[in-house]
Amino acid sequence: MASPMALRPHKQQTDDQLMVRCGRGHTAALEELMHRYQGAGQRYAYRIFRNHHTAEDVTQELFVKLFRSAARYQPRGHFKTYFYRVLANLCFDVLRKRKRRKAIDAVQLDPLASEGTELEPLSDAHDLDASMKAREAKDAVHEALSALPIQVRKALGLREFEGLRYREIAEVMDISLNEVKVLLHRGRKLLARSLARTSVGREWSQELGGGSA
């Protein structure tokens, strides 16, 4: 007969508990964190680099960083913001290095646009026109985002695409709540102004909203 302990349902560990276990060298805990957050990491990295392979590589490097730094992690229930802080810093560090290489090599090539791939395969033939318009809109948004200052772009991406609250963004970026609001206000104005110059971007820019803080 099974013991009472064996009959108890297994309680899912929190992200913080998993990070503590990672700090003790448990790779199974890292695998569980990857199961929970790998998709989010790859989506965020794809929006920065527009390349699936780069997004996968950066996300893999992200989890290596998380595992190596886990022993120093403070379990305070804020893993989500910690995750996005490490991810955002990693992505923009890679982006800065690429831009520096571009300047050194004097290659007249946009490191973002040069790696562009389709986010989704084209749908059926009868839906081709809608798919083309959707892709044009995504391209317009990406081009407009890539021209924004890094801090503005980071804040806007965390808010509009990742759905983080203002206070979470402040924690991720290690800035004040007021600075977050200023960056988002500036970013939305710059993005809307840029998109207004394109036919496919006008509808998207009209739908871009602030949401709750």
153 pLDDT more than 60: yes
- pLDDT above 60 for 103: no
Domain range list for the chain? 12-117, 122-213
| pTM of the full structure | 0.67
What is the predicted pLDDT for the residue at 118? 31
Q: What is the pLDDT of residue 198?
A: 73
How does residue 171 score in pLDDT terms, banded at 50, 70 and 90?
very high
- Other beta carbons less than 10 A from residue 151's beta carbon: 15
79-105 and 27-49 helices cross at what angle (nearest 10)? 50
CA distance 124 to 131: 9
pLDDT band of 2, cuts 50, 70, 90? very low
Of 151, 132, 113, 126, the C-alpha closest to 200 is 132
CB 46 within 8 A of CB 119: yes
Longest dimension (CA), the chain: 73
**E-assigned strand segments in 91-181:** none
Neighbours of 207 (CB within 10 A): 6
Query: What are 16-75's pLDDT values in tens digits?
Result: 999 999 999 999 999 999 999 999 999 999 988 889 999 999 999 999 999 999 999 999
Query: What is the arithmetic mean of pLDDT over 78-82?
Result: 93
Any residues with CB less than 8 A from the CB of 203 and at least 6 apart, and which?
A: 137
Fold of 122-213: Arc Repressor Mutant, subunit A (1.10.10)
- Rounded (10°) angle between helices 128-146 and 177-195: 130
Q: Which structure tokens are listed for 111?
A: 């490191």
Could you tell me what percent of the chain has a pLDDT over 90? 47
In this prediction, residue 161 has a pLDDT band, given cuts at 50, 70 and 90, of: confident
Please name which of 200, 171, 197, 169 lies closest in space to residue 183, comparing C-alpha atoms.
169
Of the ranges 27-36, 169-178, 187-196, which one carries the lowest mean pLDDT score?
Answer: 187-196
Tokens of 97: 């290095």
Distance CA 27, CA 202 (A): 47
Decide if pLDDT at 83 tops 90. yes
d(CA 67, CA 71): 8
CATH of domain 12-117: 1.10.1740.10
β strands within the chain, DSSP E: none
